[in-house]
Structure 1
Amino acid sequence: MVVRAVFFDLYETLITEFEKGKRISKRSYDYMNSLGLSEAEFKREWRIRFERRMNGQFPSYHAVIRDILESRSLPYHEEHVEFLYQSRVSEKRIPFHTISNEICRMLELLRERGLKLGLISNCSEEEVISFGQSGLAPYFDDVIFSYKVGVAKPNEEIYRLACERLSVTPQDSLFIGDGGSDELRGASNSGLTPYHAYWYNTFIESEYEKIHHPLHVLDMIESFNEMELPEP
């Protein structure tokens, strides 16, 4: 096998929302005044809808909030929900403005070596609304956002779809991610070779080989290809 494609996770792999263990945005939302829910109540409702948010069953942030409020028999105030939505969009825009030079250099070098690059992200619309205008977008041959394709990691279907869209086989492909959503196991079960991106998120553990610095991806691929070369 020679590596033909590398697929990446997005959040906490190519971009990060944290610095020195603290959230960069310092977000603070007044859910009680906006929705009539305490922060703890809102977070509980938000979490239990995670899978449906990621796989597009909820078509928008507004639809999620409407569902939460209806389940609690609370009124839906459009202006309050729109304010929360715009605040979340602004929060999620921040990481796209602070992309590491090392990340960009890694992607640039991978492209120079003729590798196809794909992105597979579990996300909802407001989380990636800034991706297309970011410095990351030009590096990728294809981008898969879970909410658009109706399936999320670790479901094997999303990895197979990613390979089909780049015209590569899973056996020719690597997946690099921080390990959230059990994505590394999903990649492995789909036939891709997974590697654990360990440069931002260091609290998730896995059985997969860790890469501690973005530029080490190049060394790892070169070693991988050399190992697979047949003897003369």
Structure 2
Amino acid sequence: MAIAVEACLAALDVGAPTRTKLADLLSPDERARACAFHSEQHRSRYIVRRGRLRELLAQRLGKKPQAIDLTNNAFGKPSLVDGPLCFNLSHSRATALYVMARGVEVGCDIEWRLPELASRRVADWLFSAGERAALDSLQGDAWLEGFFNCWTRKEAVLKGRGRGLSQPFDFDVSLRPGEPATILRGAGGWSLRALEPMPGLHAAIAVQAEDWQLLSSC
């Protein structure tokens, strides 16, 4: 039977009453981190991002959001202290993506397709030689789309692995516009799915399994 993988997209710019409600769900550590942001916008989006995460996990675990016990590994990947539900989250500006599955590791990434973020320096650092060659075969808007296809797909796998940016980027992903999202080389045991939930928003989900079904839960 295919593994069910849930994906949920959330807006992070909300009204003050909603933000206050979500702030009440946070742990003391999360509240302290929120207070450390100098930007009011960044503080507000962090509160909403973490509060929504707690709501989503609580709904699936049958607990109160405040009772969800979260931790991070040595490389910053979040997880439940105890429980079979694996999850990952990503955000870009005012949009967040949450991915959840039982018993299998997952990773995700979203990025708005902003030309100022697409640089050769990032490609040289993150992309493999094969990916850079594929990217160099594209021009104009296709180059920009290919760049963000590759970026989000690579990041989703890296975040799923949970070893931070210190791990080798020793795998290739598809990136050409119109091609299905797939791992072309390396990263054995992982598979990819790409989606564009809004025009100009790239998203990728990586799962440590081959047979899985993507469900939209919100």
TM-score normalised to the size of structure 1?
A: 0.29
From the two aligned structures, give the one with the greater strand fraction: 2
TM-score by length of 2: 0.30
User: In proportion to residue count, which structure has more helix?
Assistant: 1
Higher relative contact order (CA 8 A, sep 6+): 1
* Larger-Rg structure: 1
